[in-house]
Chain A
């Protein structure tokens, strides 16, 4: 069974204090690993897709990396507006486009 585990469950940072969020996964052949951001009362917003080990993608203060067993979302010099829940999801190579999500990391960045 495909599974995603995210850690930590919650993270509090000071503005400018860089850190990383972890996503460990087991999947029967990885088609893609997805990162989403979710604000309270909103649906998840797409950030990145990673397809193979060693791949990296960046967007503003965020950088996502992928290994064969886990992905990291690095946040460099965060700002309060980066506060949100960050969700990781995997898509298996077989079957349809279904995403299996982790429970997310709630990030709070204080000014």
Chain B
């Protein structure tokens, strides 16, 4: 079956531009997560959705970062007024609703801010 799909795979933005990153989770997966992964580091949690409800956004680094999942399926991570420190790979993951179901990750969007 289809896995988690993310687009675009690569995004180059000039400092100050806004970007939008898309995630299509596995069909039927209730939980959706966004992670940020810097080069040579492990993924760091950004935000979590259960269906359309954003239940945890404690990892969003600033108010320039905004995520939504309006119909409980596709999610978009938006970064306003991008800065160089936003350059990273942004990973989306989805899982079934049960507490210790594994997260299934997409291949990420590599964002480079110039």
Docked complex: B76-107 residues within 8 A CB-CB of A: 91, 93, 95, 99-107
Indicate if the CB atoms of B41 and A103 lie closer than 8 Å. Answer: yes
Which of B4, B41, B43, B48 has the most C-beta atoms of chain A within 10 angstroms of its own C-beta? Answer: B43
Q: Are B105 and A97 in contact (CB under 8 A)?
A: no
Q: How large is the interface on A (under 10, 10 to 19, 20 to 34, 35 or more residues)?
A: 20 to 34
Tally of contacts, chain A with chain B, CB under 8 A = 63
B70 to chain A, nearest CB (A): 20
Q: B61: CB under 8 A from chain A?
A: no
- CB closest residue in chain B, given A31: B100
Closest to B108 in A: A43
Say whether B106 contacts A43, CB under 8 Å: yes
Interfacial residues of chain A within 17-56, with CB under 8 A of chain B in the complex = 31-32, 34, 36, 41-46, 49, 51
Residues of chain B having any CB pair with chain A under 8 Å: 4, 31, 33, 40-45, 48, 50, 55-56, 91, 93, 95, 99-108
